Amino acid sequence: MKNVLVILPLSDEQKARLEALGRDCAFTYTSEAAVTGEQIRAANIILGNPAPGQIRASENLEFLQLAASGADGYVKPGVLKEGTKLCSSTGAYGQAVSEHAFALTWALVKKLYLYRDDQTKAVWGDHGMVGSLRGATVAVVGLGDIGLQYARLAHAVGAHVIGLKRRMSACPEGVDELCLTDELDKVLPRADVVCSFLPGTASTFHLFNDERFALMKPTAFFVNCGRGTAIDNEALCRALRNGVIAAAAADVMEIEPLPADNPLWKQPNMLITPHISGGFHLPATLENIVEISFSNFAAWLKGEPLRNEIDFTTGYKK
């Protein structure tokens, strides 16, 4: 009998569905806030996101199905014992995060963040000319599920979209040009908007630094809804303060919560949301996570191939 620990907010109907898939399993239901190290170490299967530090290479754990699309915290040595299967929920967040990033992009292009600042001070002001995405060049760095959905939104309103990814493939619908991530330095000077959806891996750490921001147009906007570690925050602050780029928005930070004394909070051309584009804020996201988790749980019990299985050497799905 396998012990299954579920760290997802399931309905009674969903619990019944799950238990029907694993009739010979014992189920424990909890939340991220309430889960204990003892529960984690007793589990053979976990559905959800235990804190990496609580797992401690548990000898009992055989399969971890994350509720997150990124697995960077779980591929580090000492978190999972060798042989543990690890899967992400890539594909669950495409709608929620791409729409949030698209909203941030429009807020920058139309200077809505400046007018919100004025509203809090009861100022009836005018911040001058604004831009448009129609006819703009938008570089989407990280063309996974989320990045591709964002690319299609930008393309739909008339932007010229350049997608960047690790491996070359056929150019997908909604993308006008496809480049390798290694070609980023050639693309940045062309872009009016740069939006990053990069995962947190050794190869993406501080990819956006002083040198990369310097390659961008002084009128360009930068948006990050991938991982905060891909951005050097100090370099971003310098770029904003010195007019190297026009403005930036981010839903993720290298350190979260962002410390109250971090200068990005007070940078007038910076728009910050506190990592809320994903999670369960959009109901459809949880539904997607449940479907991926249940499907993989059933496949694992049958010894069948798993969706979104993570390669521990790259941090990406296989």
Residue 310, sorted as left (phi over 0), alpha (psi -120 to 50) or beta, turns out to be: beta
Measured from the Cβ of residue 25, the count of other Cβ atoms closer than 10 Å reads 16
**CB contact set of 267 (below 8 Å; sequence gap of 6+):** 237, 240, 241
- CA neighbours closer than 13 Å in the CB half-sphere of residue 67: 21
Of 100, 152, 155, 227, which one is the catalytic site residue?
A: 227
Which of 183, 256, 287, 304 is flagged as catalytic? 256
Active-site annotation holds for 160: no
Catalytic entry in 41, 190, 206, 275: 275
CA distances from 204 to 196, 197, 228, 316 (A): 11, 11, 10, 12
Whether 206 sits among the annotated catalytic residues: the reply is: no
Going across the sheet that includes 3-7, the strands are 26-29, 3-7, 45-48, 63-65, 85-87
Q: State how far the alpha carbon of 209 is from the alpha carbons of 103, 155, 225, 230, in Å.
A: 24, 27, 16, 9
275 is catalytic: yes
The whole-angstrom separation of Cα 6 and Cα 288 is 16
Residues with catalytic function? 227, 256, 275
